[in-house]
Structure 1
Amino acid sequence: MGTFLSITLILLALTSAANSCLPSDRAALMAFKAALHEPYLGIFNSWAGPDCCHNWYGVSCDPMTKRVADINLRGESEDPIFEKAHRTGFMTGSISPAICRLNRLSSLTIADWKGISGIIPPCIANLPFLRILDLIGNNITGEMPTDIGRLSRLTVLNVADNRLTGTIPRSITNLSSLMHLDLRSNQISGTLPTNFGKLRMLSRALLSRNRLTGSIPFSISYIYRLADLDLSFNRLSGPIPEGLGKMAVLATLNLDGNRISGKLPTTLLNSAISILNLSRNAIDGNIPDVFGPRSYFTAIDLSYNLLRGPIPKSITAATYIGHLDLSHNHLCGPIPVGSPFDHLEASSFVFNDCLCGKPLRPC
C-alpha cells in the first residue's frame, strides 16, 4: 500500500510538472515583475507558486507547449480588480529585457499605466513569434528598436501616447504582416521612409502629433488595404500625392496642422474618402470643380489654407456632405444654393476675401 501511494504521488508530481510552465519562463516573468511597481491594485499578487500558466494575472500559455504566449496587462480595464478599487491602474518602473527570454511570446500588451518609463528593450526585435506589441499610454522614452523589422509576424505595433524620440526605423518597412501602426503623440522626428508603401497589409497608419518632416511618400498610395491615414500635427511639407485619392478603401485622411503646400488634388474630391481634413496648411489655388456622385463626405475641412477663387458649383452634385468648413481662406463669389449649403452655418465660410450669399450677407 505504501509503495502504491508513493508511485501515485510521483505520477501526480510528474503530471503537475508536465502541465506547468517552464522554470525558465517563470524566472523571466519574475525578473520582469521585479522592474515594475504597482502600488494600488495588487495585480501581481497572483504571480506566486511554481505554475505561471494557471491563475497568474495577465499571463497565458500555449496549451500544447506550456510556454508563455501572451502577456496582457492593461491599466484601463473592466476586470473586477479595477472595479473593486474604483480606479484605473498606475504603475511605475520599466520594461525589463528579461521579457526577451520568453522566446515563444506571441503578444505583449503593457498599456495605459501612465508611469512606466525607460526604453523599449532592443531585444524585443529578437522575439520571432511576436504578433502584437501594444505599449500605448505609458511614459516610455528613447528610440524604437532599430531592428524592429525583424518581427516578421507582427500585425499590431502600438506605441502611442509615450515620449519616444529619434526617427522611424528604416527596417519598419520589412514588417510585411503589419496591419495596425499607431505612433501617435510621441516626439518622433525625421522623415517617413520613402518605401513606406511596402507595408502592403496595413489598414491603419496613425502617426499624428509627432515632429515628422519632409514630404508624404507617394508609395503610400500603393497600400491597397489602407483605410485610415492620420499624419496630422506634424511638420510635413510639399504637395499631397495625387495617388492618395485613387486608393480603393481609404476612408479617412487627416493631414491637418502641417506645412503642406501646392494645389488641392482633384482625385481627393471624387474618391472613396469620407472624412477629409486638410486644414491649417498652405494649400493654394482653386478648389477643383470635380465633385460628383462618388463624393460622399461626412466631413470635409479645408479651413486655414490659401485657397482662392469661387466655391465650385459641382459641390451640389455630391451625394452627401455632412460638415464643410471653408473658413479662413481667400475664396470669393456667391455661395451656391441648395444642398449641402442649406444646412451650413456662417462659421463654415467666415474670414474669406469676398464670399457672399446665405448664410453670409447678400451678394
Structure 2
Amino acid sequence: MDAKKVTTIVFCNVVVLLLATVVQSCPPSDRAALLEFRSNLNEPYIGVFNSWRGQDCCNDWYGVSCDPNSHRVSAITLRGISEEPLFQRAKRKGVMTGSISPAICDLTQLSGLTLSDWEGISGAIPTCITNLLAMRHLDLVGNKISGVIPANIGNLSKLTVLSLADNQISGEIPPSITRLTSLSHLDLRSNGVTGVIPGDIGRLKMLSRVLLSGNKLSGRIPESLTRIYRLADLELSMNRITGPIPASFGRMSVLATLNLGGNLISGEVPGSLMSSSISNLNLSGNLVEGNIPDTFGLRSYFTVLDLSNNRLEGGIPESMETASFIGHLDVSHNQLCGKIPAGEPFDRLDATSFGYNKCLCGTPLGDCKK
C-alpha cells in the first residue's frame, strides 16, 4: 500500500473519531443552561457541583443524565441528605440555598428534575417549566420554594410524578392539573395551598397516590375522586375541608389509606368504609356524628382505625368483634356510651383508646354500674 493511501486512511479515521467526539458531547446550549442553573445555587458542604467542569456535560457531571441517542440533557437528579440527623441539619441550616434559574427551561429535552431535601432552595418555580413538554418527573420536595404552582402545569402531558411537598407554596391548585392524564403520584403536603380540590380531578385515571395533607384547602371532597380505580392512598388531613364523606369510598377496590383527619367534615360515617379495602382509616378531629356503623365483618382489616375527637354517639358495635384484624383503635373524645366488648381487639387496648366519652365502661375503663 502506497504512502498516499495510508495517509488518506489515517486522515479518514481521525475525522471519524473527531465527528464521534462532537456527536457524543452535549450541545453547548445545554452546557450553558446547566452552568446558569448552577450559578443560582450555593452548596458549600458536599461539593455536588465540583464535577461540573469540562465541555461535555454528559460525561461525569454529577446528577446529570443525557439521552444516549441525542446526547441532550434528559435529567437532573440532586438529592439532599434527608437521612442526616435532625440536629446536624438544624446546625447547618440547609445544605443548598439559592433558587431555580429559568435557564432550566433551555434544556428542551429535560424529562426529570429532582432537587429534593435540600431545605434551603427558595424562590418560585419558573413558569417556563411548563414549556418542557418531555417532563415526566418533577420532584422539589423539602425546600423553601414559594409562590404558586404554574397555571399551565397541565401542558406537561407526560408528567407522571409531581412532588412539591414540604415547601412554602401558596395559591390554588391550578384547574389545568386535571389535564395531566399520565399523572400517578401527586404530593403537595405541608404547604400553604388554598382553594378547593378541582371537582374533575377524577379525570386523572392513572393516579395511585393523592397526598394533600397540611394545607389550607376548603370545600367538599370531590365525588370524582372515588372513580379513580387505581387510587391506593388519599391523604387530605389537616385542611379545612367540609361536607360529608362520600360513601363510594367504601366501594373502591384498591384504596388502602384514607386520611381525612383534622378537617371540618360533618355527617355520618358511611357504613361501606368498615367492610372495604381500606386498612388505614383516619377520620379524627372532625365534626362527624351519628353511630359507629355496625357493618364490620371478615373483610374488615384495619392497621389503623381512628375515629377520635368527633361527635359520635351510641355504643361500640358488636360486629367490630368479627373483624379480621384491628391494630390501632381510637374512639376517644366522642359521646359514646355503653359497655366495651370483651375479646379481640379490645383486650389488648389501653384506656386512652376509649377515654373522654359520655359513659363508656368496662375493661380497660372502670366497671359498668348496674
Q: TM-score, normalised by structure 1?
A: 0.95
Cα distance in 2 for residues equivalent to 1:345 and 1:77 = 35
User: Is 1:92 equivalent to 2:97 in the alignment?
Assistant: yes
- Counterparts of 1:169-208 in structure 2 under 5 Å? 169-208=174-213
The answer on 1:165 being equivalent to 2:170 is yes
* 1:10, distance to aligned residue in structure 2 (A): 4.2
Query: How far has the Cα of 1:43 moved from its partner?
Result: 1.3
* Structure 1 partner of 2:89: none
- Structure 2 residue matching 1:298: 3-state secondary structure: strand
Equivalent in 279, 292, 297 of residue 302 of structure 2: 297
Structure 2 gaps of 5+ residues are 84-91
Distance 2:318 2:11 in 1: 91
Cα distance between partner residues in 2 of 1:254 and 1:261: 15
Q: Which residue of 1 aligns with 2:352?
A: 347
Mapped to 2, the partners of 1:288 and 1:91 lie a distance apart of 50
Matched, 1:45 2:60: no
The corresponding residue for 1:255 is 260
CA distance in 2, matches of 1:48, 1:17: 17
1:147 aligns with 2:138: no
- Residues 194-235 of structure 1 deviation map (CA, whole Å, 9 limit, x = unaligned): 111111100001110000011111110000000000000011
CA deviations 1:301-321 (Å, max 9, x no partner) are 000000001111110011111
Aligned to 1:210: 215
What is the alpha-carbon distance in structure 2 between the residues aligned to residue 300 and residue 184 of structure 1? 22
Which residue of the partner structure matches residue 327 of structure 1? 332
Indicate if the aligned counterparts of 1:77 and 1:88 stay in contact, CA closer than 8 A.
no
Provide the rounded CA distance (Å) in 2 between the counterparts of 1:228 and 1:317: 25
TM-score normalised to the size of structure 2? 0.93
One-letter amino acid matched to 1:249: V
Distance 2:353 2:228 in 1: 33
User: What secondary structure sits across from 1:57 in the alignment?
Assistant: coil
CA contact (8 A) 2:63 2:77 kept: yes
> Matches of residues 21-170 of structure 1 in structure 2 within 5 Å?
21-76=26-81, 90-170=95-175
Letter paired with 2:165: A
2:251 equivalent to 1:246: yes
Does the 8 Å CA contact 1:253/1:275 hold for their aligned counterparts? Answer: yes
| Equivalent in the alignment of 2:239 | 234
How many matched pairs?
A: 355
AA partner of residue 178 (structure 1): L
- C-alpha distance in structure 1 between counterparts of 2:201 and 2:295, whole Å: 29
> Match of 1:81?
none
- Residue of structure 1 equivalent to 2:361: 356
Q: Is the 8 A contact 1:40 1:89 kept in 2?
A: no
Distance 1:77 1:88, change over 3 A: farther
Render the CA deviation track for 1:71-101: whole Å, top value 9, x for unaligned: 10111279xxxxxxxx997111110111111
| In structure 2, distance between residues paired with 1:227 and 1:307 | 27
Contact 2:93 2:120 survives alignment (8 Å):
no
Maintained 8 Å contact 1:233/1:257: yes
Report how far residue 288 of structure 1 moved: 1.1
Q: Structure 1: where are the runs of 5+ without partners?
A: 79-86
Any idea what the Cα deviations from partners look like across 1:122-155, whole Å, max 9, x if unmatched?
Answer: 1111111111000001110000010001111100
3-state SS, counterpart of residue 253 of structure 1: strand
The alignment partner of 2:138 has SS state of strand
Deviating 4+ runs (over 4 angstroms): 1-10
> What's the offset of the Cα at 1:9?
4.6
Shift of 1:39: 1.2
Distance 1:109 1:265 in 2: 40
Identity of paired residues, percent?
A: 60
Query: Given that residues 159 and 180 in structure 2 are in contact (C-alpha distance below 8 angstroms), is that contact kept between their aligned partners in structure 1?
Result: yes
